[in-house]
Amino acid sequence: MLYITRKERFNAAHKLHRQDWSHDKNMEVFGKCSNPNWHGHNYDLFVTVKGNINPETGFVIDLKFLSHLIKEKVVDKIDHKNVNLDVDIMEGKMASTEVLAQAIWDELADAIKEQGCSLHCIKLYETENNFVEYFG
Amino acid sequence: MLYITRKERFNAAHKLHRQDWSHDKNMEVFGKCSNPNWHGHNYDLFVTVKGNINPETGFVIDLKFLSHLIKEKVVDKIDHKNVNLDVDIMEGKMASTEVLAQAIWDELADAIKEQGCSLHCIKLYETENNFVEYFG
Amino acid sequence: MLYITRKERFNAAHKLHRQDWSHDKNMEVFGKCSNPNWHGHNYDLFVTVKGNINPETGFVIDLKFLSHLIKEKVVDKIDHKNVNLDVDIMEGKMASTEVLAQAIWDELADAIKEQGCSLHCIKLYETENNFVEYFG
Amino acid sequence: MLYITRKERFNAAHKLHRQDWSHDKNMEVFGKCSNPNWHGHNYDLFVTVKGNINPETGFVIDLKFLSHLIKEKVVDKIDHKNVNLDVDIMEGKMASTEVLAQAIWDELADAIKEQGCSLHCIKLYETENNFVEYFG
Amino acid sequence: MLYITRKERFNAAHKLHRQDWSHDKNMEVFGKCSNPNWHGHNYDLFVTVKGNINPETGFVIDLKFLSHLIKEKVVDKIDHKNVNLDVDIMEGKMASTEVLAQAIWDELADAIKEQGCSLHCIKLYETENNFVEYFG
Amino acid sequence: MLYITRKERFNAAHKLHRQDWSHDKNMEVFGKCSNPNWHGHNYDLFVTVKGNINPETGFVIDLKFLSHLIKEKVVDKIDHKNVNLDVDIMEGKMASTEVLAQAIWDELADAIKEQGCSLHCIKLYETENNFVEYFG
């Protein structure tokens, strides 16, 4: 059993806010992350896949395939977008890094299973100081 | 003569677009950077000051002072904001990294000169792959 | 279940030595890390918290709270200090990175539990080449 | 129980190819990684050891010992070499990062066990975007 | 006048050696960098362009254009290749980082001048510890 | 003319203080950097050499030689030491990063000139946020 990780990147705008809360309540709970006109981040995404090594290729999974999969299913949907307004997999959800990591898991898990291995972890950096890890 | 640099960080939303251009013209020139609902970045800012070493303190400039100055005059105005909509020093300007670096220079140069040294360079990273340097 | 990590930093002096050992024995076992007049490091601290996502906020734990907690209970006690001489939570202990990570765990675990989640890991870098992880 | 990690580095040439496959089949499966005249990488290696803290020294394992062990058993054999042609521990194997991580594990596990602790993980970066982890 | 930099990456094999020198002379002068079966690196390339800001776009140069130019003229020629054997712009030259930086300058300078600005610097990292800068 | 840089690292304890000042005056001017029992840093040192490329070797300067020179004349004198107490080249001087960079310049400039090239810059990082550059 071996774990292999691919890093991809995307940039996006977002804000933390609830429409069913007043502006004051949003600012009290979320602080500057609730700035009405948005703010944004360079997100770093690490996708870790777990599996056995194919003795013929020495691969757990073809990293070219994994990179294309992440780009098609995740990066193309979020990069240079607004997480709250433009991203279908986040519709109706809080635009926190935690919830975004879960949505990315849901996009990738089945397609990775079809390759004979399994998604192990989504690690998502919002800044160099904050990141989350989700193991399904 | 010695050069000393302080790094600070801010996160912000922005887009590249001209209101006097059509949506199609904006997308043609600026591509995904012109996404109508914004995108965003973790910006890294390096402020370099040039001066002689004060023999009493061993300092060119007090870095605590320089850090506070950058926070008051730059970071507090841009961090967790929208560069196009919320930032007075960018009003009426293109929200490119190039123009933002110049606006930051203008905010800092005089206050640094009052300390008996001079602002040498504003280096501003938009992503790990793109940065600009402005020397006044 | 989701894991969220906050990175903080502190600088400190320390040395590895035992008062019940001779200088020669200390130098033999600890080498240059036992330099009598101390040396020092820029430590990087990663605090990982495990918990469920609060559906109202999208948070596992409020990172502003977590950052303030780490600063109050850890960084303010060690930053720009001498680990052997100035830090109460290290009194009478070896000033190794391993032991320091355990002492930091003990400072943070209860206050994090009070937030309805749990401390998962203290990861402490002494240099870019050496780090420890403690899971309680 | 505590985990301690040492980072070392090596540079090497390699290619992904099977001699029992045609050039076309190799290029189809491995793409540019199968360039006949080789390519290369700056590899980053993280060796994680698990054990109890020795109360006398505050150590899980002496990092000077661990660093020397890694240099003797791994770095000296691979650094500035060709993984396919020059490295005895990779003879007859696919020169993938996955297989290389396993071969490094096999070189280190016994010598670390002799120190009263155990090898926990080999983490090997091929580029900043690709890395593998092997836990034995 | 403003400076803007684009970072790109490539991986390659190379060795330092002169065919008009004996193996022993090559090893004496170049050491392990002269390993007959090659070694390799992850190179980081920073291309800095100098120019005035276009008031209409806020750009010195379109970074999408610059990135494509570097990929077409440099990265596609060197990435996953052997600098000594596969790279036409290095034919008959020493495969040192210094000489490679000059060859990259020669590939890019004219095409950047056609954009109304000028190439200012090629900065090329061979490892995190070694890099060169060439200003033409 | 080409510039080549070698990065080395050292760890050290220091404090900013003047013996001819009271404790209160030291704390007022230098703040926590004047902690009586010292603090410390992982310093990153970049030494940049300027020269012509030797057509026979493709080198400006042999980096093995440069690395050994920096280790012998700088790193061995400061690493795992106390800048104020243990380092002869800093005797009687303020232990600021600025002054340390100048002292390192003085140690290296002549030996580099003897190689037929010249020392161009000493860049010294005290933390990831603070660094100085000295050009002689």
Mutate to test the interface with A, among B27, B38, B45, B77 (most CBs of A within 10 A): B38
Q: What domains lie within chain F, and their CATH numbers?
A: 2-134 (3.30.479.10)
Strand-pairing partners, residue A66, are none
The pLDDT assigned to F66 comes to 98
The CA distance from D125 to the nearest CA of chain E, in Å, is 11
* pLDDT at residue C62 in the model: 97
Euclidean distance between CA atoms E42 and D14, whole angstroms? 12
CB E29 within 8 A of CB E94: no
Identify the pLDDT of residue C12: 98
- Residue E121 bears catalytic tag: no
Nearest CA in chain B to E53: B98
Nearest CA in chain B to A32: B80
Structure confidence by residue, pLDDT tens digits, B44-86: 999 999 999 999 999 999 999 999 999 999 999 999 999 999 9
Active-site residue, selected from the candidate residues E68, E72, E80, E98? E80
C111-135 mean pLDDT? 98
Whether chain B has a CB inside 8 Å of the CB on A88: the answer is no
Q: Do A132 and C3 touch (CB under 8 A)?
A: yes
Q: Which is catalytic among the residues B8, B33, B41, B121?
A: B33
pLDDT grade for E12, boundaries at 50, 70 and 90: very high
Query: How does pLDDT run across F29-77, given as a tens digit for each residue?
Result: 999 999 999 999 999 999 999 999 999 999 999 999 999 999 999 999 9
Q: Nearest residue on chain E to F63, judged by CA atoms?
A: E130
Are residues A2 and D134, on separate chains, in Cβ contact within 8 Å?
A: yes
**DSSP state, F90?**
G
State whether D2 and C98 contact (CB < 8 Å): yes
| CB nearest C32 (choices: F80, F85, F128) | F80
The C-alpha atoms of residue A12 and residue C133 are separated, in whole angstroms, by 32
The pLDDT of residue F100 is 98
Residue E131 in contact with partner chain F when CB distance is under 8 A:
yes
D8: closest CA of chain C, how far (Å) = 7
Q: Which residue of the set C8, C33, C120, C121 is catalytic? A: C33
Beta-bridge partners for B2: B51, F134
pLDDT given for residue C86 in this prediction: 98
A132 close to C (CB below 8 A) = yes
Q: Token digits for D25?
A: 């089949």
Contacts of F135 in chain B (CB under 8 A): 1, 3
Alpha-carbon torsion D54, D55, D57, D60, what sign? positive
Contact partners for chain D, using 3 or more CB pairs closer than 8 A, are A, C, E
CB contacts, 8 Å: C53 with chain A: 96, 98-99, 102
E33 belongs to the catalytic site: yes
Name, in order, each residue with C-beta under 8 angstroms of F91's C-beta and a sequence gap of 6 or more: none
**B98-120 as b/e: b if 16+ CB within 10 A:** bbbbbbbbebbeeebeebebebb
Q: Is D20 on the interface with E (CB under 8 A)?
A: no
Rounded Cα distance between C90 and F99, Å, is 33
Residue from A70, E54, E41, B3 nearest D14 by CA: E41
Best of D7, D11, D14 to disrupt the E interface by mutation (most E CBs within 10 Å)?
Answer: D11
| Interface contact F96-B1, CB threshold 8 A | no
F14 contacts on C by Cβ (under 8 Å): 40
Q: Would the CB atoms of E13 and D85 count as touching at under 8 Å?
A: no
Cβ neighbors of F121 (< 8 A, separation 6 or more) are: F46, F47, F48, F133, F134, F135
**Is C126 an annotated catalytic residue?**
yes
Confidence of residue E86 (pLDDT cuts 50, 70, 90): very high
Q: pLDDT (tens digit, 9 = 90+) per residue, B108-127?
A: 999 999 999 999 999 999 99
The partner residue sitting opposite D58, judged by closest CB among C94, C129, C130, is C94
Using CA atoms, how far apart are residues E121 and E5, in angstroms rounded to an integer?
Answer: 9
Rounded to an integer, the average pLDDT of C27-41 is 97
Q: Quick check: A57 and D96 CB within 8 A?
A: yes
Whether D8 sits inside 8 A of C129 (CB atoms) is: yes
Which residue among C23, C39, C80, C133 is the active-site one?
C80
Q: What is the pLDDT of residue A22?
A: 97
Residue B87, classed as helix, strand or coil, is coil
Residue C135: the pLDDT is 98
Residue C2 distance to chain A (closest CA, Å) = 5
Residues 6+ apart with CB under 8 A from E49: E3, E4, E5, E6, E60, E61, E66, E112, E117, E118, E119, E120
Characterize the bridge pairing of strands E130-134 and E81-82: unpaired
- Report yes or no: C95 at the D interface, CB cutoff 8 Å: yes
| Calpha distance C132→C97 (Å, rounded) | 7
Cβ pair E59:B96 closer than 8 A: yes
CB-based contact, F29 to chain E, within 8 Å: no
How confident is the prediction for chain A on average, in pLDDT? 98
State yes or no: chains D and F have 3 or more CB pairs below 8 A. no
Percent above pLDDT 90 for chain F? 100
pLDDT per residue as tens digits for the range A47-106: 999 999 999 999 999 999 999 999 999 999 999 999 999 999 999 999 999 999 999 999
Per-residue pLDDT of chain D (136 residues; tens, 9 = 90+): 999 999 999 999 999 999 999 999 999 999 999 999 999 999 999 999 999 999 999 999 999 999 999 999 999 999 999 999 999 999 999 999 999 999 999 999 999 999 999 999 999 999 999 999 999 9
DSSP A79-133: TTEEHHHH-GGGTTS---HHHHHHHHHHHHHHHHHTTTSEEEEEEEEEETTEEEE
Report the DSSP beta bridge partners of residue E58.
Answer: none
3+ Cβ–Cβ pairs closer than 8 Å linking B and E = yes
* D124 touches C: beta carbon within 8 Å: no
Q: Which of E2, E7, E57 sits opposite B132 (nearest CB)?
A: E2
pLDDT of A40: 98
Cα dist from A43 to C44, C106, E18, whole Å: 21, 32, 45
- Report yes or no: A92 at the D interface, CB cutoff 8 Å: no
On average, the pLDDT of chain E sits at: 98
Q: What is the pLDDT of residue A116?
A: 96
Nearest by CB to residue F40, choosing from C40, C86, C128, is: C40
pLDDT given at position A133: 98
> Taking CB atoms and an 8 Å limit, are F58 and E102 in contact across chains?
no
**If you measure CA to CA, which chain C residue comes closest to F15?**
C80
CB F73, CB F107: distance < 8 Å:
yes
Q: Is E83 on the interface with F (CB under 8 A)?
A: no
Q: Tell me, what's the pLDDT at F30?
A: 98
Which chain D residues contact residue E12 at CB under 8 A? 39-40
